């Protein structure tokens, strides 16, 4: 595990964290990965840590890695191997059908059904041990509902390696309560009756920072949703409780983000943070892509669901992730690189 107390001289490699946020995050991160590939940084990454919707994008990248053709550090078939499968999934409504099917088959949880659907659409019978050892270490995080700790899925030999990639991604994106939990046999125990009960990683940490904090360079792509400001707060017990839970969740997210930014300032590690709510003008780049805040905030507010998205919205979310990543990387990491010619989908823009 990454240890934030290690001195900077012991840090090595490049870590990339992809936040949660349903299909919105999946597509935003796709744009970020697209730009990282163009910059030659995708091939430099040592570890990819992912949460929920970010784990879908990371899972597709992990599955495609052996087929990516890196010439001069840039995969020229990135669109076909990564973008196209992700867009195909974004045309598929998952959350409601999976929930209804799980209700009709009570002996199979929604999380298990979600894993089955991921296997059908994306991963087939690929297991964790099958992930290319020549690529980054992919860490798919989930929340252990039994002890409240973070659970890591990653490539390794032994029983853990036999876990399907689809199951790891489903556990990471099993949004409670409708798509949760995913139950697996404890790979560290000989007792076949010992189970691990897992839910969406965002319950614990929506940024997925733990696996990458020990690296020399830490890149963070954040497509999480902010808590809405309300002038009038309902006073009935049910809706007031939901509001309190939102405040608790918001506090955790802000603490994690604040600690990350402080680590950059104190030079614990180098890197960049970009998010769906950033204002590109704050990066102070004369040649950043045009991204009006009123348009990007609408994209940031796209509902956090695993449901079919219109083609133009898919393209705009990818465009926004691409632009935000470009600004973060060229401001803080790779300052000499040329600006992009335009958005990946210029006709769609941002709105």
Q: Is 195 exposed, middle or buried (0-12, 13-18, 19+ CB in 10 A)?
A: middle
Q: Which residue's structure tokens are 């995050």?
A: 25
- Angle between helices 95-104 and 110-118 in degrees, nearest 10: 130
Strand-pair partners of 154: 139
Tell me if residue 200 is catalytic: yes
Q: Which of 19, 49, 50, 52 is catalytic?
A: 52
Report the distance separating Cα 37 and Cα 197, nearest Å.
35
How, if at all, do strands 70-71 and 74-75 pair?
Answer: antiparallel
Q: Read off the DSSP letter of residue 299.
A: H
Tell me if residue 52 is catalytic: yes
Residue 133 to residues 40, 72, 129, 259, 309, Cα–Cα distance (Å): 20, 20, 9, 31, 34
Report the distance separating Cα 147 and Cα 151, nearest Å.
10
Q: Which of 200, 205, 222, 268 is catalytic?
A: 200
Tokens of 102: 């799980």
Active site residues: 52, 200
């Amino acid at each position: 595990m990454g240890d934030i107390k290690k001195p900077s001289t012991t840090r090595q490699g490049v870590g990339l964290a992809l936040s949660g946020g349903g299909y919105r995050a999946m597509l935003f991160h796709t744009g970020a990965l697209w730009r990282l590939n163009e910059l030659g940084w995708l091939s430099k990454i040592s570890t990819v840590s992912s949460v929920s919707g970010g784990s879908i994008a990371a899972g597709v990248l992990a599955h495609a890695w052996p087929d990516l053709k890196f010439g001069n550090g840039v995969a020229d078939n990135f669109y076909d191997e990564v973008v196209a499968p992700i867009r195909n999934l974004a045309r598929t409504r998952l959350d409601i059908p999976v929930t209804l099917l799980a209700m009709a088959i009570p002996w199979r949880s929604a999380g298990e059904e979600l894993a089955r659907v991921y296997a059908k659409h994306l991963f087939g019978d690929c297991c964790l041990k099958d992930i290319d050892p020549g690529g980054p270490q992919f860490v798919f995080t989930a929340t252990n509902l039994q002890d409240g700790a973070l659970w890591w899925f990653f490539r390794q030999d032994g029983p853990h390696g036999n876990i399907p990639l689809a199951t790891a991604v489903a556990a990471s994106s099993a949004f409670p309560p409708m798509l949760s939990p995913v139950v697996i046999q404890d790979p560290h125990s000989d007792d076949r009756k010992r189970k691990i009960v897992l839910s969406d990683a965002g319950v614990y940490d929506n940024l997925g920072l733990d696996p990458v904090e020990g690296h020399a360079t830490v890149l963070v792509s954040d497509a999480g949703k902010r808590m809405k400001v309300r002038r009038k707060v309902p006073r009935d017990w049910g809706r007031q409780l939901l509001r309190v839970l939102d405040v608790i969740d918001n506090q955790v997210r802000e603490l994690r983000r604040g600690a990350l930014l402080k680590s950059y300032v104190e030079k614990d590690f180098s890197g960049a943070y970009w998010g769906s709510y950033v204002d590109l003008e704050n990066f102070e780049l004369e040649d950043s892509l045009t991204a009006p805040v009123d348009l990007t905030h609408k994209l940031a507010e796209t509902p956090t669901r695993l449901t079919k998205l219109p083609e133009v919205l898919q393209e705009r979310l990818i465009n926004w992730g691409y632009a935000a990543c470009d600004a973060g990387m060229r401001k803080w990491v790779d300052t000499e690189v040329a600006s992009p010619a335009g958005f990946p989908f210029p006709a769609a823009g941002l709105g």
